[in-house]
Amino acid sequence: MLSRLNAPYFSEMDSPIGKLLLFGDERALGALYMVDHRHQPTFPAGCTRRDAAFTEAHQQLRAYFAGELTAFDLPTAGQGTEFQCRVWQALCTIGYGETESYGGLARRIGNPAASRAVGLANGKNPLSIIVPCHRVIGANGALTGYGGGMERKRWLLEHERRVAARRS
């Protein structure tokens, strides 16, 4: 997944939902995973720790967790299939503090029968939190699978709702 990144680096940071692992290069953030993330890749060959390459990502993530940032503005290079990328782009249009069902997302990308495929693409999102896959829920409003774990998904949704309510 990250093999196309030039001289890949990684960084770690603590957060209210546990340690976060960032991958990327000088140009863009390629992935953000949580400890024990279901689809976390192994470190690419030659990947070295370079926290300085992720200064802006760290700052924006800290601001997000502090309730000061509701939209990220980072160069990203998440890699996936054409369908996955369409789903990930659609995820970025779900408003802060809001949720959408897998079926609703499938309809919005023009493929109403693809709710399961949307779920699979959502689960493969390499840029958790930045590309807000945690905002997708079941058709009945129930929280459903999350690569970072259900407790983290619940925390992220509750955090965003609290911040959005405070801003209203």
Helix 115-123 vs helix 82-91: angle between axes, to the nearest 10 degrees? 80
| Helix then strand then coil, % of the chain, to nearest 5 | 35, 15, 50
Tokens 């990328």 label which residue? 85
- In tens digits, the chain (168 residues) has pLDDT values of 344 555 589 999 999 999 999 999 888 999 999 877 676 666 677 889 999 999 999 999 999 999 999 999 999 988 899 999 999 999 999 999 999 999 999 999 999 999 999 999 999 999 999 999 999 999 888 888 887 889 999 999 999 999 999 988
Report the alpha-carbon distance of residue 5 to residue 78 in Å, rounded. Answer: 10
Report the alpha-carbon distance of residue 78 to residue 33 in Å, rounded. Answer: 12
- pLDDT on residue 148: 82
Domains along the chain?
A: 9-65 (3.30.160), 82-167 (1.10.10.10)
Give the contacts of 111 (CB within 8 A, at least 6 positions apart).
Answer: 117, 118
Catalytic positions, written as ranges: 133
- pLDDT on residue 2: 41
- Where b means 16+ CB within 10 Å and e means fewer, 66-94 reads eeebeebebebbbeeeeebebbbebbeeb
